[in-house]
Amino acid sequence: MEILKLLEDMTRIDAPSGCESGIRDYIARYAEKYCGEVYADGMGNLIARRRGNGKKIMFAAHMDEIGVIITGADEKGFLYFAPLGGLNVKNLINLRVRFLNGAEGVIAADEEKLGDKPKTDKMFIDVGAKNREEAEKIAKIGDCAAFVGDFYTRGDTVISKALDNRAGCAALMAAMSEIKNDTNDLIFVFTAQEEVGLRGAKTAAFALEPDIAISVDTTDTGDVPGMAKSDVKLGGGAAIKVMDRSVICDASVRDRLIQTAQKNNVPHTLEIMTDGGTDAGAIHLTRAGIKTGGISVPTRYIHSVSETASISDIENCARLIKLAAETEW
C-alpha cells in the first residue's frame, strides 16, 4: 500500500472547510483507477462507487481541515478572521497560515487585550501589507487559509498538519486499491465541511441511503501524560469506534468489525472518544437511521500543526477497511 506517498501529497494540499476543491481533484484522479463512478455532489463531497452484488456500504472520510476565513481588514493592512472548525485558540499566536493563492501570514494579537480566555476576534493576521488596499490584494473577505505545518517522518511516525483527516482519506484510498471482489455495493465518500458541523456527511448519506456506513477518521490517544485514560495508542493498530460525543455505534457493525479484525490478525483497539465527533454522528441520524460504525487512526495533538500518527496504524486501518468491504454483511 502506498500510504506514505498519499499522505505526503495530500497534507501539502491546503483544503480548509468549504475550500476542498484541490484535495477533491487529487482524490478523484486516484479513485478513477478503481471505481466505475466518480463524481462530486452539490455539497462538494467526492463520491466514488464500485457497484457490487450485496449490501450498499458507505465508507466516509472527511477531506477538509481546520483553518480560518477572512472577515475584514483595517487601514494598517492587518486582516481579521473567524475560525473554520475547532481551533485551540490559546495556541494560535505566532502560527503561520497559508491562503489558497500561496500567500502566507502570521497570526498575532495585542496580548494585553486577550485576557485569560482569548478569542479570535481579538487577533489578526499580518501579511506584511502597508495598508488595507495592499492587504485586500493578498486576501479579501471570504478567502480561506490553512495552517502551515511541515511533513516529517521518522521510523513509523509521521508528523504533519492535516493528518485529521488525510490519514483517514489515505487509509480509505489504499483500501480501495486492494479490494478484490464485488461482494458488496461499495460507496467511498470523501466528505466536505466535516470540521464545521458534519455537513457533507449528512447530505451524502441522505442521497445515497446506504444499508451500512463506516466513518473513517482520526481519534485521540491515551498514551501521553495528562490525557484521559484510554487504550488507544500509537502503534496499537486500528481503533474500532464504540462511541464518541456524536454517536453510539451500532452494536452489530461494531462487533462485525471486531470479529473481522480478530479473524485476520489485524491489530486493533476499541475507541471511546469523550470529546469531539465524526461523520458517523450525522450519518446514523439520516432518514430513518443508518447502521453506522467507525474505524479511526490513533493520532496525537489533533487540530494542531504537528498532528502525530503511526504509519503502521494507518496501514492496519486500510487492511480492516478492505476486509470489511469484502465481507458479506
* Residues annotated catalytic, as ranges: 194
**Four-CA torsion 32, 147, 73, 199, nearest 10 degrees:** 50
Q: Could you tell me which residues are beta bridge partners of residue 120?
A: none
Instruction: Label residue 296 left, alpha or beta by phi (over 0 means left) and psi (-120 to 50 means alpha).
Output: beta
DSSP 73-124: E-TTSEEEEEEES---GGG-TT-EEEETTS-EEEEEE-GGGT-SS--GGGEE
Residues 301 and 271: their CA atoms lie apart, in Å, by 17
Q: What is the DSSP string of 275-298?
A: S---THHHHTTSTT--EEEEEEEE
Whole-angstrom distance, CA of residue 145 vs CA of residue 29:
24
Residue whose entry in the numeric block shows the C-alpha cell 493578498: 138
Q: Which of 54, 296, 48, 51 is nearest to 188 (CA)?
A: 48
Residue 57 CA to residue 66 CA, distance in Å, equals 28
**Spatial contact of 322 and 216, defined as CB atoms under 8 Å apart:** no
DSSP single-letter state for residue 183: S
The CA distance from 99 to 270, in Å, is 38
How far apart CA 321 and CA 309 sit, in angstroms, is 18
